[in-house]
Amino acid sequence: MVPKLSESELAIMRYIWSQQQPVTAAQVVAAFQQKKGWKIQTVSTFLGRLSEKGILSLTKTGKLNSYTPTLSEAGYQAAETRAFLNEMHHGSVKSFFAALYDSSSISPEDLQELKEWLERK
């Protein structure tokens, strides 16, 4: 089972996934300092939590720590989607789409695109 990520943890993971290579805490700080005002202590705390959750692996090279995802973004999205579907719709894809359709959250264009996608599968 994949652990649930907080909004901040997910933001960090999206940054790390986008890099497609190991990152350092300093790189994460540089990415979030201006946007969120995060300092090294905050980033280190988040990276530690993500490592404890098994989402990141830590490699130490001298004084430099590098972090690598242990799960792809697509893998995390699939796990979260399955968990949401199971929790909110008792695993029913039909219930999920009915909720979207009944609340007018899905447009005719979305329905057509979904139909075409299903036909290709």
CA 11 → CA 15, 17, 91, 96, distances in Å? 6, 10, 27, 26
96-102 CB contacts, 8 Å cutoff, 24+ apart: none
Q: Say if residues 55 and 70 touch (Cβ distance below 8 Å).
A: yes
Please report the domains of the chain, with CATH numbers, ordered by start residue.
Answer: 7-69 (1.10.10.10), 91-121 (no CATH)
pTM: 0.83
Q: Convert the pLDDT of each residue in 19-74 to its tens digit.
A: 999 999 999 999 999 889 999 999 999 999 999 999 999 999 998 999 999 999 99
Percent of the chain at pLDDT exceeding 70: 100
Instruction: Work out the average pLDDT over 4-33.
Output: 96
70-103 pLDDT, tens digit per residue, is: 999 999 999 999 999 999 999 998 898 888 888 7
